[in-house]
Amino acid sequence: MLAKQLNLSTAAVSKALRDSHEISPTTKQRVLDLAAILNYIPHPYAGSLREKKSRTIAVVIPEVADSFFSLALNGIEAVAIEKGYHALIYLTHENQEREREILKDLESGRVDGVIMSVAMKTNTFEHIRLLHQAVPLVFFDRVCEEINTAKITTNDYECGYLATKHLIEAGCKKIVLLSVSESLSISSRRMQGYKQALLDHQMDETLCRVIDYNEDLTMNYDLLIELLKSKDRPDGIVATVSKMTTEIYLACMERGLNIPNDIKVVCFSNDSNAPIFNPSLTTITQPAFEMGKLAATILFKALKRNSMVLSDESAVIPSDLLIRASTAGLL
Amino acid sequence: MLAKQLNLSTAAVSKALRDSHEISPTTKQRVLDLAAILNYIPHPYAGSLREKKSRTIAVVIPEVADSFFSLALNGIEAVAIEKGYHALIYLTHENQEREREILKDLESGRVDGVIMSVAMKTNTFEHIRLLHQAVPLVFFDRVCEEINTAKITTNDYECGYLATKHLIEAGCKKIVLLSVSESLSISSRRMQGYKQALLDHQMDETLCRVIDYNEDLTMNYDLLIELLKSKDRPDGIVATVSKMTTEIYLACMERGLNIPNDIKVVCFSNDSNAPIFNPSLTTITQPAFEMGKLAATILFKALKRNSMVLSDESAVIPSDLLIRASTAGLL
DNA sequence: TTTATTTACTTAATCGATTACGTAAACTGG
DNA sequence: CCAGTTTACGTAATCGATTAAGTAAATAAA
């Protein structure tokens, strides 16, 4: 290294920089001074290789242009920086194949741990299982039930129930659920809550309609238009996916339906602009930032004690129902 | 390595996996087969160390919970994945000190290149200059003029001009600019456009009021309320920072001012929900995804030809003025 | 004074993959 | 049939930092 302008061994320099007792104060100072002048920074991968620790984690999420995931990423990054870790970001774009390629790479030892939220299209789990064998793994929000590790979720069942109950109490008789592929843990839990609420209030469960979220948003719009045209059109909508919001509002507008007078709407959403929508939107708002923070905290705790065992560290952080104008009044 | 179950040297295995002509087809197949069975993946940091290439870049941005930056990150990640690179994410939270610590670390050789958008609070550039000496650097959106490297921007001056002209043509007489610290390149350009538009239309430039964006959003709200209370309250607002939108709408509502009848509003924003705001929001929408993609493309091109020289690769991608209800009618 | 201990280093192994170089054995050409 | 070449590997250096183990010199203890 450059610090051999001091006529020292690399070993001595390394020890000096790490403040070892084996090095004399005079020498330490000389090393420190030159290091400052030369702006010397140890190469991280050299140490990583030897220590078998990269001080890096991976965050694997479906999207980042999404309030929930960007807030969660924010929480994860905050903890990572604080703990001196680095965060690699990977986006699956809801695509299982992409997810598999990413996880495959992460088995290499590139990262010490992985925090992930599974893609919508994911319906087999072998790739996740393989990763889990190689590196500590924490799920958040969209978890994989089949894999025994820490899972940070929110109270999806209760929220599905609560959102539906809220619409029922507002007088809605025909409530549809807009959801995504049922293979997703959160979707099925939210749907269970929805169904149970209908059941508990003697309402027709057969109305339950699942519109599978499509990446092509115009398709969702078209499906919504169809739905609103049908002769028993819904008078209440529970959308478990926030990306549907714009299309719901626009479709209602197109069909001349007033929210909340003709139809009431609740969305699972973390959009901070919900209060200024037309009308302001009643939301189930998830603790996205906190979920990210907790997922990261749990992961780093496990890394510290050098354990792959994370099974007992699961946690549920409740969401809030924020009632606004889109569900106001009584039908 | 484990592949010495084959009675081969590591060298032979390495060559086999890289399909070297020095290895016989039979041996290659044996290696490939066992590698598949053992799910062998080369350790990335070993190669990185030797090749002095990490195939990793860093993305340093102020925030991720922001439509513009999350879209840009999306664009960057898309190109990174395609090129076989990995992306580390760092958030400065608009804080110069944090930015400096992050950039300091990135001088270590951890990454082959950096894509960044500078923090609002950044007013000295030594830390950026130091990074620039160590590793190829591309700026996007919020660039540092003082540093000679590739810069991906949008036509901020024209947009400031256009937004203001649009309000003038809608009959606004007292247009304020809500901005952030003037040290920021984009802010000052947008402001220049704003001022020039006022000048070109013989309007009073002294009205120009810069409300410095504050992380504590309630402070922005309070400042806005004050502004709207003042005896020559504005009848037009150009907000160069999208995070102000909610507060602008809420403050107007609180003061009983109707948008667009009493006051018209244009925001620089990438929020896809702008069409369903109350009223729908006229925006200057930046090509966030494209800017991220281009920044990454230019960086990888430079990395490929192994050059630190990126000075001539700057580009400007224009934004769009999307006219909606918040500036409708004539005052 | 002699041995034991402490101080302040250096040497060399290590992490894992890559590659320049070395080398047996097989093969080819004259 | 022997020099020259090709084939198919193995050996060892390398990337950069860390650390166990080794060592010379100074110091302390007996």
Find, among B63, B123, B70, B53, the residue nearest to B90 by Cα.
B63
The answer to whether the C-beta of A23 is closer than 7 A to strand C is yes
Cis peptide before A279 (omega within 30 of 0): yes
Band of the pLDDT at A312, cuts 50, 70, 90? confident
Nearest-by-Cβ selection for B108 from A42, A56, A90: A42
* Stretch B64-90: mean pLDDT: 98
The answer to whether the C-beta of B21 is closer than 7 A to strand C is no
Residues A73, B189: Cα–Cα separation, whole Å: 31
**pLDDT value for B274:** 98
B242 vs A contacts (CB less than 8 Å)? none
Interface residue of B129, B273, B293 to substitute, partner A, most A CBs within 10 Å:
B273
Structural fold of domain A50-154+288-318: Rossmann fold (3.40.50)
**pLDDT value for A135:** 95
Structure tokens at A134: 């190689």
Amino acid (1-letter code) at residue B206: T
Say if the Cβ atoms of B278 and A273 lie within 8 Å.
Answer: no
Measured in angstroms, what separates residue B82's CA from nucleotide C18's C1'? 24
Residue whose tokens read 């002769």: A231
Measured in angstroms, what separates residue B13's CA from nucleotide C3's C1'? 54
Mean pLDDT rounded to a whole number for chain A: 94
What are the pLDDT digits (tens) for B141-163? 999 999 999 999 999 999 999 99
* Strand ranges inside B195-263, DSSP E: 236-239
Residues A222, A88: Cα–Cα separation, whole Å: 37
Structure tokens at A157: 């069942």
Q: Give the closest nucleotide to B2 (alpha carbon vs C1').
A: C16
Band of the pLDDT at A201, cuts 50, 70, 90? very high
Residue whose tokens read 């879209």: B71
* Stretch B2-10: mean pLDDT: 80
**pLDDT value for B93:** 95
Say if the Cβ atoms of A44 and B108 lie within 8 Å.
Answer: yes
Tell me whether domains B51-154+288-317 and B156-285 share a fold.
Answer: yes
**pLDDT value for A72:** 98
* Stretch A257-275: mean pLDDT: 97
| Strand D footprint, Cβ within 7 Å | A 1, 10-11, 14-15, 17-18, 22, 40-43, 46-47, 49-51; B 7-12, 15, 22-24, 26-27, 46, 49-50, 52
Structure tokens at A153: 């979720």
**Domain parsing of chain B, residue ranges:** 2-42, 51-154+288-317, 156-285
- DSSP states of A2-66 as a string? GGGGGS--HHHHHHHHTT-TTS-HHHHHHHHHHHHHHT----HHHHHHHHT---EEEEEES-SSS
* Stretch B309-317: mean pLDDT: 86
The alpha carbons of chain A give a radius of gyration, in whole angstroms, of 25
* Residue B131 half-sphere exposure toward CB, CA atoms < 13 A: 29
B258 CA: distance to closest CA in chain A (Å): 13
Mean pLDDT rounded to a whole number for chain B: 94
**pLDDT value for A197:** 96
Structure tokens at B31: 């290696």
- pLDDT beyond 70 at A1: no
The answer to whether the C-beta of B43 is closer than 7 A to strand C is yes
- What chain A residue is nearest to B250 in terms of C-alpha separation? A276
What are the pLDDT digits (tens) for A46-62? 999 999 999 999 999 99
- What chain B residue is nearest to A63 in terms of C-alpha separation? B74
Say if the Cβ atoms of A246 and B272 lie within 8 Å.
Answer: yes
Band of the pLDDT at A12, cuts 50, 70, 90? very high
What three-state secondary structure class fits B89? strand
- What chain A residue is nearest to B57 in terms of C-alpha separation? A88
**pLDDT value for A300:** 96
Say if the Cβ atoms of B276 and A246 lie within 8 Å.
Answer: yes
**pLDDT value for B141:** 97
Measured in angstroms, what separates residue A43's CA from nucleotide D13's C1'? 20
Q: Give the closest nucleotide to A48 (alpha carbon vs C1').
A: C15
Which overall architecture, per CATH, does domain B156-285 show? Answer: 3-Layer(aba) Sandwich (3.40)
**Which of A109-113, A157-161, B312-316 is predicted with the least confidence, judged by mean pLDDT?**
B312-316
B107 vs A contacts (CB less than 8 Å)? 39, 41
**pLDDT value for A182:** 74
Band of the pLDDT at A3, cuts 50, 70, 90? low
What three-state secondary structure class fits A172? coil
Say if the Cβ atoms of A86 and B88 lie within 8 Å.
Answer: yes
What is the CATH superfamily name and number for domain B51-154+288-317? Response regulator (3.40.50.2300)
B94 CA: distance to closest CA in chain A (Å): 13
Strands A150-153 and A175-179: unpaired
Q: Give the closest nucleotide to A9 (alpha carbon vs C1').
A: C10
Structure tokens at A320: 């809030």
* Strand ranges inside B133-281, DSSP E: 137-140, 150-153, 175-178, 236-239, 264-268
- Which bases of strand C sit closer than 7 A to a protein CB? 7-12, 14-21
Measured in angstroms, what separates residue B21's CA from nucleotide C28's C1'? 20
- pLDDT beyond 80 at A209: no
Band of the pLDDT at A85, cuts 50, 70, 90? very high
Amino acid (1-letter code) at residue A141: D
Measured in angstroms, what separates residue A31's CA from nucleotide C6's C1'? 23
Band of the pLDDT at A204, cuts 50, 70, 90? confident
What three-state secondary structure class fits B321? strand
**pLDDT value for B3:** 63
**Which of A17-21, A54-58, B274-278 is predicted with the least confidence, judged by mean pLDDT?**
A17-21
**pLDDT value for A313:** 84
B206 CA: distance to closest CA in chain A (Å): 31
**pLDDT value for B2:** 62
CB A72 within 8 A of CB A140: yes
N-to-C CA span, chain B: 76
* Stretch B54-74: mean pLDDT: 98
A35 vs B contacts (CB less than 8 Å)? none
- What chain B residue is nearest to A217 in terms of C-alpha separation? B272
Measured in angstroms, what separates residue B297's CA from nucleotide D12's C1'? 39
B203 CA: distance to closest CA in chain A (Å): 31
Structure tokens at B132: 């620039």
Find, among B108, B70, B112, the residue nearest to B87 by Cα.
B112
